[in-house]
Structure 1
């Protein structure tokens, strides 16, 4: 079996799908989405095509090692997102060829389903209670929301109190809440806010500081008992290593479309298990990314929670299941997502619809925010 084609597709609202085909007709799908940088990731596939057209697609680990190490420069969001999509598609192809789910080839099931959570926004704190109630009525028992909108380096007690009020409004609807600081909060405020939120019993606080500040994250982790989560902007096991060694994180959130795909995220999860750290994969993306996450949940014992983008505010015009022909495999039941049992990633993509969408490629960009004084504010 030899790889004959590696195709990429711009899929709305902001995704990049990958399709690999072999000379015997077997194929596999993956997702290399890097929000706002689809063009850059697509460009990285030129080198991957040169290297792997004609290669045996069943040799997934060899392809991973060559793709990661063979170009001399390695790591970072663009190269690792391209490798992630390639890796997912290879597992999908091999699973289809063997008639096995990816989790079965990675050691077999450790669970039948995984608890899911959905977004309720929070950037603009209108109708938080109604949004939480709507998610509960959909069957979700857990939600995630942003803590704040634009922030200065220093804030007022009133602003901090408003964050608490919004969390309490969501909790009053009977759901557990994870709070995402989104890297927007600077150290002087992050310590205050984390301490103020501690009595609320949050599932976690996510990215209380950006991951380039490991010393500050370590300080916050020692300041409060609330679990600290991070990892969407880390791209390999080597990136996660110092946070695990410092004890600066309780829940890691690798993104299977950014952090080397299913292969690397399985290794990251195993490394985290040695530190008694939970895994809750980051996934505000498309159906293939979520399907890959569920394959990881199926075989990694320390996966505890799964994010999904159903109805997320980014999904304008096209939602999580738009391009899926078997949507039941990615549909939560009583707040849990079932582990897919179909071959490969377990999800079937409407190829004709993907090709049609790609004919008018998206150009998604995240907004740029400004603080009250006109300076740049983290989004």
Structure 2
């Protein structure tokens, strides 16, 4: 059998013509670099954290030549610097005017002092999920091990009631501050470096509240007669908690996002949060047969002491030492201290009756409060601020 070859005909297909106008075609000195160079890194070489964080949130003072892409009903757009009374150098410079032929260029990097902040925790999406998942995994393992070992049977009845009422009540503080203070401040902060640090702080508080809520459910199943709803009545009406409740609610109503972070992390947490967690619960629990609750409380204590406070101090120290507005910022922070220190000291003192409730007593309340005040004063020293006279109340 023979076959006849069919002559091939060339099809008329348009051929691609490369004009070097395509994205990425231009060759320039850093065109093959694998790192960004539109900002100046904090150290000699930019970190992965800076690569994925710096200027992710745009700023028309630096670039974004068309201005903010959206605005609010009052005419403000994006992330107004006026959402806090504190100022960083360059904040008073106007947004550059852009027009046809201007090239869209803004001020040189950094456009203003807010861009100089770097979170020492280097928080971004990956670190947030990795850290919180590790904490939750460890806490779940601790609680499951305690269930299998029947460790809850070792608690005395008075301590069972204390955990139901007072340890459970702290979840209301965590939930309120996490959702209504830190999450709100995160949206108002002017750079992505601030946003990431504050949003992670928010997630720490919300996760801690969830940890206590789930722990409360576990105890309701494991301990006969455990009142899983006792914390609600305690939070709403127990006189010992009304000072904390009042102060926490006042904190959530702060409009200025910097004041909110300052009042919560610099004042409230050292004077009230650490006093309750470290100087009461973690001190009293082991003597009352409870070695599980301190793991939950300790996880939250680590969140604040080693991560949340760790970003807070450099954030405010930059503003205290700002080359243009440092003195003005320091004066304003001193005013905030005069407002919030007496409120937090009052809230701490209203908790004093809790120290007498466990069968095995923790160290004296006054000793714990003195340690809290000393810790607070040390934080102020690092920020180059002065403790107000109200601290002696």
Between Structure 1 and Structure 2, the one with more strand by share is 1
Larger Rg: 2
| TM-score interval for Structure 1 and Structure 2 normalised by the shorter chain | under 0.3
Q: Report the TM-score when normalising by structure 1.
A: 0.24
Q: Which has the higher contact order (CA 8 A, sep 6+)?
A: 1
